[in-house]
Amino acid sequence: MKGKNLDLSIGNSDPAGDGSRHGSRRRFLGIYFACCSVYARIYANRDGTAYVGHCPRCSKKAEIKVGPGGSDVRFFTAY
C-alpha cells in the first residue's frame, strides 16, 4: 500500500539510543501544573541559569532559577 508510512527523521539524531544529545543528557525538572492538573518536564535554558517551560494545556509559564547551592529536588508544583 503506497503512502502508509512516513519517516520524518534526518539521519540518526540519537546514535546512543538513550535520549542523549552530543554525549550528554539534557537537564530537566518534573513540574506538576496545578492549573490544568498535568505533569510535564521543563528544561534548562542555554545559559544554565534557569529551568523554563510551559503548561502543555494552557501555556502558563514556569521558570525556576538555578541557585548557587542547587537542590536535590527534581519535582515541583506550579500554581
Q: pLDDT tens across 14-60, in order?
A: 555 544 455 568 899 999 999 999 999 999 999 999 999 999 999 99
Q: What Cα–Cα distance (Å) separates residue 76 from each residue in 9, 34, 42, 43?
A: 33, 10, 10, 13
Sequence-ordered list of residues with C-beta below 8 angstroms from that of 45, at least 6 positions apart, any chain = 51, 52
More confident residue, 71 or 51: 51
DSSP character at residue 63: E
